[in-house]
Amino acid sequence: MNEAQRAEVILKILNQTYPKTPIPLKYRNIFTLLISVLLSAQCTDINVNKVTKKIYPKHNKPEHFVKLGRKKIERLIKSIGIFRIKAKSIYYLSKTLVDKYNGKVPRTFEQLEELPGVGHKTASVVMSQGFGYPAFPIDTHIHRLAQRWGLTNGKNVFQTEIDLKRIFPKKYWNKLHLQIIYYGREYCKARECYGLSCKICTTCYPKRKKPLITKKA
């Protein structure tokens, strides 16, 4: 089975398994989506949602977080990993949005990636799920599965993004990246399958006998 055939199989199985793809992170507007994605680094979506459920009813605009200040933001998110670094990013990100963008989240990759604490993956999620712009955010699940499915050599997340964008038509990107994340959490887990047991792995590589060791993101 060649790459194009594997891609066709993957799309078919993912569309059957996840016809709908709700965004795992809960948010109220584009700004709170940005904050939630930033908070999700080294933290589960479930934990982020627990924390933001208490924050967003009162604090959901950049000016709210500027008024809170770093120390109060720290107290609000202290149950989340590396909370001091994230609080600093949230404060200065919010201040930049107020000072430079009139409190609005910019709509380009370049402007988003210039914001404190915002990397390419965070910008990609906001562009994709917030603004509907075709993007392919790569997280650890996608990086792992793309290797198990023979879609990339796993050199790094940037190469994985390039490869997946080359293989799959742009119209599928926004939904597909969520489908892969859900599949990786449910069927092709990091410490299970190893390229040997889930439906996609066994369909794409029926003769694979040894566990596939993937490169980390």
Map out the domains of the chain as residue ranges: 3-21+136-204, 30-130
CA distances from 65 to 4, 32, 207 (A): 47, 11, 54
Question: Which CATH class name applies to 30-130?
Answer: mainly alpha
Domain 3-21+136-204 has CATH 1.10.1670.10: yes
- The answer, yes or no, to whether residue 217 has pLDDT greater than 90, is no
* HSE, side-chain direction, 13 A CA sphere, residue 165: 12
The pair of structure tokens assigned to 145 is 């599965």
What mean pLDDT value characterizes the chain?
96
Average pLDDT (76-88) is 95
- The answer, yes or no, to whether residue 72 has pLDDT greater than 90, is yes
* pLDDT score recorded for residue 182: 96
- Would you place residue 3 in the very low, low, confident or very high pLDDT band (cuts 50, 70, 90)? very high
Which ranges of the chain does DSSP label H, i.e. alpha helix?
Answer: 3-17, 30-39, 45-55, 62-77, 83-101, 109-113, 120-125, 140-148, 157-167, 173-186, 199-204
Write down the pTM of the prediction: 0.93
* pLDDT score recorded for residue 189: 94
Average pLDDT (185-208) is 96
Is 104 tagged catalytic? no
Given the residues 54, 78, 104, 121, select the one marked as catalytic.
121
Return the DSSP state at 168.
S
Average pLDDT (159-184) is 97
Domains 3-21+136-204 and 30-130 share a fold: no
Helix (H, G, I), strand (E, B) or coil at 60: coil
How many residues in total does the chain contain? 217
- Would you place residue 7 in the very low, low, confident or very high pLDDT band (cuts 50, 70, 90)? very high
Given the residues 72, 104, 139, 209, select the one marked as catalytic.
139
Is 121 tagged catalytic? yes
- The answer, yes or no, to whether residue 81 has pLDDT greater than 90, is no
- The answer, yes or no, to whether residue 168 has pLDDT greater than 90, is yes
